[in-house]
Amino acid sequence: MNLVLKSTCIFDSISDTPFAGYIEIEGNRIKDVVKGETDKYNNPSMYEVKDCGNKTITAGLMDGHIHLFLGSLYNATIDLYFTDTEEEAAEKLYEFYKDRDDEWVLGFRWSNYRWPDSKLPSKESLDKYFPDRPVIAFNDELHAVWVNSKTLEICGINKETPDPQGGTIARDENGEPTGYLLEQPAMELVTKEALDVSPEREEELIEGFINMAHTKGVTTVGAVHVLRIMKNEACRRLEEKDKLKVRVFFAPHMEMDIDEAIKLKKEYTSDKLRFLGLKGFLDGTPLGYTGYMVEPYADRPGFRSEPLVDREWLYEKSRECYKNDIAMRLHACGDGAVRMALDAFEIARKELGEKDVRNTIEHIEVIHEDDIGRFAKTNTIASIQPCHMLMESLEKHPIFDMMDEKRVRLSWIGKTLEKNGAQVAFGTDFPIVDLDPVDSVYRAVKRRMEDNLPEEGWNPQEKFTVSEALKNSTIGPAYMMCMEDKLGSLEEGKLADINVFSRNIFEDTDDMLSTETVMTVFDGEVVYDKL
Domains, the chain, in order of start with CATH, read 1-60+488-531 (2.30.40.10), 69-194 (3.10.310.70), 277-427 (3.20.20.140)
Segment 218-229 mean pLDDT = 84
pLDDT band at 226 (very low <50, low <70, confident <90, very high): confident
Q: What is the DSSP string of 311-328?
A: HHHHHHHHHHHHHTT--E
Alpha helices in 195-334 (DSSP H): 199-214, 228-231, 234-240, 258-267, 311-323
What are the pLDDT digits (tens) for 372-409?
A: 999 999 999 999 999 999 999 999 999 999 999 999 99
What are the pLDDT digits (tens) for 91-121?
A: 999 999 999 999 999 999 999 999 998 899 9
Alpha-carbon gap, residue 171 to 192, rounded angstroms:
21
Classified as helix, coil or strand, 390 is coil
Please give the pLDDT value at position 75.
92
Burial class (CB in 10 A: 0-12, 13-18, 19+), 495: buried
Neighbouring C-beta atoms of residue 451, cutoff 10 Å: 12
Segment 10-17 mean pLDDT = 97
pLDDT band at 227 (very low <50, low <70, confident <90, very high): low
Burial class (CB in 10 A: 0-12, 13-18, 19+), 215: middle
Please give the pLDDT value at position 230.
60
Diameter of the chain by CA atoms?
A: 80
Q: What is the DSSP string of 169-199?
A: EEE-TTS-EEEEEESHHHHHHHHHHHT---H
Share of the chain above pLDDT 70, in %: 99
Side chain identity at 332, as an amino acid letter?
A
What are the pLDDT digits (tens) for 82-91?
A: 999 999 999 9
Please give the pLDDT value at position 350.
97
| DSSP H or E segment with residue 341 | helix 335-352
Average pLDDT, rounded, for the chain:
96
More confident residue, 489 or 231: 489
Question: Which candidate, 282, 231, 273, places its Cα nearest to that of 248?
Answer: 273
What are the pLDDT digits (tens) for 311-347?
A: 999 999 999 999 999 999 999 999 999 999 999 999 9
* Residue 126 in this model has a pLDDT that exceeds 80: yes
Please give the pLDDT value at position 231.
64
Radius of gyration of the chain (CA): 23
| DSSP H or E segment with residue 97 | helix 86-97
DSSP code of residue 439: H
Please give the pLDDT value at position 240.
96
pTM over 0.95: no
Please give the pLDDT value at position 64.
97
**Contact by Cβ (8 Å): 232, 199:** yes
Please give the pLDDT value at position 196.
85
Please give the pLDDT value at position 5.
98
Alpha helices in 355-501 (DSSP H): 374-377, 399-402, 405-409, 415-419, 437-446, 466-471, 475-480
* Residue 229 in this model has a pLDDT that exceeds 70: no
What are the pLDDT digits (tens) for 165-221?
A: 889 999 999 999 999 999 989 999 999 888 888 889 999 999 999 999 999 999 999
Please give the pLDDT value at position 430.
95
Segment 226-245 mean pLDDT = 84
What are the pLDDT digits (tens) for 410-469?
A: 999 999 999 999 999 999 999 999 999 999 999 999 999 999 999 999 999 999 999 999
Alpha-carbon gap, residue 339 to 268, rounded angstroms:
31
